[in-house]
C-alpha cells in the first residue's frame, strides 16, 4: 500500500494557500494550511507532515526563521521555500539552513509536480533506508548463536557488554565453535553496525597477499597490480575489521599490524600517501596466543594491543546441554532453506548426537544435520541418516565404570552369557567376572 504523503502549506496569502491546497488535494495528498509561521509551528508540534511548503516573506516570523525552528523540531523534515522575489542570497541561505529546495512564484505546473515528486521520493528512500537498516540489524543479530548453557550465557553477556565500546577483542575457541558469529554479533550490536564489517582470513593468504589485502595497493605496485585497489582496513572505515586466524600471521606482518593499530593509518603497497581509517579490530584464533608470546612466535606488544577483551567460545563437548537446542535450530534452518516440510528427529538419533564428542564442534553438527535432511526420508531424522558409525562415536563424559559395564554386557551377549567364554575373551577370571556382573547388576536379555 502506498503511503499518503502529507503537505503543510504556509503562506500569508489566502489565494496562494487555497490554490495550492486545491492543486495538491487533486493529486491525492493530505494537505493542511497555515496562514503564518506561528500557526504552522503549533500544527507541527502536534502533527507530523512529510513536506512543508512555506513562503519566505510573511509578516511576523519569516520563512527562513520558521525553517530553522522546524529543523529543530524534526531534523529530517522536508521544507520547500517559496518566494515571489527571488534573490540568490535568500536561496543560498535557505539551502544552507536545510531547505530541500527553493522555488520562485509563480511556477510552472510541471515544476511543482516534479518538486513534490522528488520530495516524496526522498521521503520514501529515507523510510526504506530505515527499514533496511533495521532488517540488516535483525539479520546480523545473535540469532545464529544458540545456547542456553551457562557458558554460552556468559558469552552473550560478554558480547553485550563489549559491543558498545571500541575495544579490540580477541575471540578464542576451537575450530567450528562460531567465533566469526560472535564477531558479527559484536559488530551488529555496536554503534558501527551501519558500516561494513570486513573479514580477512589471515591463514588463507601468503604474507605478500595478506599485505596487499589489508593495505591495498597502487597500480603497478607489483606484477598484476593493474588497478589501484582499496585494502580491507580502508574498506572497514567507520566499521569493524575481523582478522580470523590471527596467530598465523608472519612476524613482519605482526609489526605492520601493530603500527596500523597504533596510528590508524597506513600506506598502500606501492604507494606513498598516508591513508587514515577509523576501524575497530576483532581477532579470532584457535591457538593459545599467550603461550605463543612466551615462545616468542607472537609479538607481546601486539598481543596486548589486541587482547583488550578476550571472549572464549566453549567447545560443544563442554556444553552438551546445548546440543538438542542446536539440533532443533539447524533442522528448522535447513528445512526452511531447502523448502522442505518441518522435520523431527527420533530419540535414538538424538541420543547418539548427544553422546558424540564433536571434534569439529558446531560446524560438524550443522553439517551432520544438513546431510541428514538431504538423505533422510523427509519426515524424521533417524540414526541411519547420521554419519556416525559406532566406531567413530566417542562417548562424552562417561566414566571408566560406565564403559566397563557396557563392554562386559556386550561381550556377555556376544557369547550368549557363557561365563567361561566371556571371561576368556575379557581376559578375566570367572570370579572377577561374576563380581562385575553383580556389581553392575547385569542380566541376560529376555
Partner 1 sequence: MTPENITLISFGYFEKELLGMIVKDVGHEFLLPVKTREGHLDLSEFYNPVRRQYDGFRLLKEVDTKFASAPEKTIGLFDVDLFIPILTYIFGQAYLNGRVGIASLFRLRNERYGLKRDDKILLERFRKEVIHELGHAFGLIHCHDSICVMRSSTYVEDIDQKSQHLCVKCKRSLNLDLSD
Among the listed ranges 8-16, 266-274, 363-371, 398-406, the one in contact with partner 1 (CB under 8 A) is 8-16
Among the listed ranges 16-24, 161-169, 201-209, 299-307, the one in contact with partner 1 (CB under 8 A) is 16-24
CB of 107: closest distance to partner 1 in angstroms? Answer: 6
Out of 82, 159, 163, 282, the only residue in the binding site for partner 1 (CB under 8 A) is: 82
Residue 101 or 385 having the CB closest to partner 1: 101
Buried-state track 69-86, b at ≥16 Cβ within 10 A, e below 16: ebeeeeeebbbbbbbeee
Cis peptide before 287 (omega within 30 of 0): no
Other CB atoms within 10 A of residue 267 CB: 15
CB of 95: closest distance to partner 1 in angstroms? Answer: 20
Cell of 362: 558446531
Residue 119 or 369 having the CB closest to partner 1: 119
Residue 54 or 171 having the CB closest to partner 1: 54
Do 40 and 79 contact (CB within 8 A), yes or no?
no
Binding-site size, partner 1 (CB under 8 A): 21
CB of 69: closest distance to partner 1 in angstroms? Answer: 23
Cα 435 to Cα 431: distance, rounded to the nearest angstrom: 6
CA angle 380/384/390 to nearest 5° reads 135
Contact between 1 and partner 1 by CB under 8 A: the answer reads: no
Contact between 291 and partner 1 by CB under 8 A: the answer reads: no
Cα 310 to Cα 162: distance, rounded to the nearest angstrom: 10
Contact between 354 and partner 1 by CB under 8 A: the answer reads: no
CB of 110: closest distance to partner 1 in angstroms? Answer: 4
Element (H, E) at 281: strand 280-285
CB of 78: closest distance to partner 1 in angstroms? Answer: 18
- In the region spanning residues 128 to 157, those forming contacts with partner 1, defined by CB under 8 A, are none
Give the DSSP letter string of 143-205.
Answer: GG----SHHHHHHHHHHHHHHTS---EEEE--TTS-HHHHHHHHHHTSTTTTS-EEEEEGGGS
Other CB atoms within 10 A of residue 296 CB: 9
Residue 107 or 222 having the CB closest to partner 1: 107
Out of 3, 27, 262, 432, the only residue in the binding site for partner 1 (CB under 8 A) is: 27
CA angle 175/180/181 to nearest 5° reads 110
Please give the backbone phi and psi of residue 152, each rounded to the nearest 5 degrees, phi first: -75, -35
Out of 1, 26, 88, 272, the only residue in the binding site for partner 1 (CB under 8 A) is: 26
Contact between 20 and partner 1 by CB under 8 A: the answer reads: yes
Q: Is 17 exposed, middle or buried (0-12, 13-18, 19+ CB in 10 A)?
A: buried
| Dihedral sign (CA 277, 281, 284, 288) | positive
CB of 51: closest distance to partner 1 in angstroms? Answer: 15
Maximal CA-CA distance, the chain: 115
Strands 380-381 and 344-345: parallel
Other CB atoms within 10 A of residue 118 CB: 14
Cα 417 to Cα 141: distance, rounded to the nearest angstrom: 57
Residue 113 or 307 having the CB closest to partner 1: 113
Contact between 391 and partner 1 by CB under 8 A: the answer reads: no
CB of 15: closest distance to partner 1 in angstroms? Answer: 5
Residue 106 or 220 having the CB closest to partner 1: 106
CB of 8: closest distance to partner 1 in angstroms? Answer: 15
Residue 109 or 341 having the CB closest to partner 1: 109
Beginning with the edge strand found earlier in the chain, give each strand of the sheet holding 30-34 in spatial order.
Answer: 30-34, 6-10, 51-55, 78-83, 101-104
Out of 6, 12, 23, 303, the only residue in the binding site for partner 1 (CB under 8 A) is: 23
Residue 107 or 397 having the CB closest to partner 1: 107
CB of 172: closest distance to partner 1 in angstroms? Answer: 58
Residue 13 or 355 having the CB closest to partner 1: 13
Out of 60, 106, 220, 378, the only residue in the binding site for partner 1 (CB under 8 A) is: 106
Out of 3, 87, 95, 107, the only residue in the binding site for partner 1 (CB under 8 A) is: 107
Among the listed ranges 23-31, 35-43, 211-219, 290-298, the one in contact with partner 1 (CB under 8 A) is 23-31
Task: Fill in the per-residue mask, 111 to 130: x = in contact with partner 1 (CB under 8 A), - = not in contact.
Answer: -xx-----------------
Contact between 108 and partner 1 by CB under 8 A: the answer reads: yes
Cβ neighbours for 169, distance < 8 A, ≥ 6 positions apart: 162, 183, 186, 281, 282, 283, 308, 309, 310, 311
Cα 417 to Cα 186: distance, rounded to the nearest angstrom: 59
Contact between 16 and partner 1 by CB under 8 A: the answer reads: yes
Do 250 and 292 contact (CB within 8 A), yes or no?
no
Binding site for partner 1 (CB under 8 A): 13, 15-16, 18-20, 22-23, 25-28, 82, 105-110, 112-113
Amino acid at each position: 500500500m502506498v503511503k499518503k504523503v502529507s503537505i503543510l502549506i504556509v503562506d500569508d496569502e489566502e489565494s496562494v494557500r487555497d490554490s495550492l491546497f486545491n492543486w495538491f488535494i487533486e493529486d491525492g495528498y493530505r494537505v493542511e494550511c497555515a496562514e503564518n509561521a506561528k500557526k504552522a509551528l503549533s500544527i507541527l508540534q502536534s502533527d507530523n507532515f512529510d513536506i512543508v511548503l512555506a513562503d519566505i516573506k510573511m509578516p511576523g516570523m519569516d520563512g527562513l526563521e520558521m525553517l530553522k525552528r522546524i529543523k529543530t523540531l524534526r531534523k529530517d523534515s522536508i521544507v520547500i521555500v517559496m518566494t515571489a522575489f527571488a534573490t540568490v542570497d535568500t536561496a543560498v541561505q535557505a539551502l544552507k539552513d536545510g531547505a530541500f529546495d527553493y522555488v520562485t512564484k509563480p511556477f510552472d505546473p510541471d515544476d511543482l509536480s516534479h518538486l513534490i515528486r522528488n520530495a516524496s521520493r526522498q521521503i520514501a528512500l529515507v523510510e526504506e533506508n530505515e527499514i533496511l537498516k533495521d532488517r540488516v540489524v535483525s539479520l546480523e543479530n545473535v540469532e545464529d548463536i544458540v545456547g542456553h548453557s551457562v557458558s554460552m550465557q556468559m558469552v552473550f553477556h560478554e558480547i553485550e557488554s563489549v559491543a558498545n565500546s571500541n575495544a579490540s577483542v580477541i575471540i578464542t575457541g576451537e575450530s567450528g565453535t562460531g567465533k566469526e558469529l560472535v564477531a558479527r554479533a559484536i559488530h551488529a550490536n555496536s554503534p558501527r553496525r551501519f558500516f561494513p564489517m570486513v573479514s580477512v582470513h589471515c591463514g588463507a593468504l601468503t604474507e605478500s597477499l595478506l599485505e596487499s589485502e589489508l593495505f591495498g595497493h597502487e597500480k603497478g605496485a607489483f606484477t598484476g597490480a593493474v588497478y589501484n585497489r582499496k585494502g580491507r582496513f580502508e574498506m572497514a572505515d567507520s566499521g569493524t575489521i575481523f582478522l580470523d586466524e590471527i596467530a598465523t600471521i608472519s612476524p613482519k606482518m605482526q609489526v605492520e599490524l601493530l603500527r596500523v593499530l597504533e596510528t590508524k593509518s597506513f600506506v598502500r603497497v606501492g604507494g606513498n600517501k598516508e591513508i587514515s581509517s577509523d576501524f575497530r579490530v576483532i581477532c579470532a584464533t584457535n591457538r593459545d596466543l599467550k603461550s605463543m608470546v612466551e615462545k616468542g612466535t607472537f609479538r607481546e606488544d601486539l598481543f596486548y594491543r589486541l587482547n583488550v577483551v578476550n571472549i572464549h567460545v566453549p567447545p560443544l563437548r563442554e556444553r552438551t546441554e546445548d546440543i538438542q537446542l542446536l539440533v532443533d535450530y539447524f533442522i528448522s534452518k535447513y528445512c526452511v532453506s531447502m523448502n522442505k516440510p518441518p522435520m523431527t528427529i527420533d530419540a535414538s538419533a538424538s541420543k547418539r548426537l548427544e553422546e558424540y564428542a564433536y571434534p569439529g564442534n558446531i560446524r560438524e553438527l550443522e553439517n551432520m544435520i544438513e546431510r541428514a535432511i538431504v538423505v533422510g526420508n523427509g519426515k524424521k531424522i533417524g540414526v541411519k541418516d547420521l554419519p556416525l558409525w559406532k566406531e567413530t562415536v566417542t562417548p562424552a563424559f562417561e566414566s571408566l565404570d560406565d564403559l566397563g559395564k557396557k563392554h562386559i554386557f556386550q561381550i556377555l551377549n556376544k557369547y550368549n552369557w557363557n561365563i567361561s567364554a566371556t571371561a576368556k575373551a575379557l581376559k578375566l577370571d570367572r570370579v572377577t567376572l561374576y563380581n562385575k556382573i553383580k556389581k553392575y547388576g547385569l542380566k541376560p536379555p529376555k
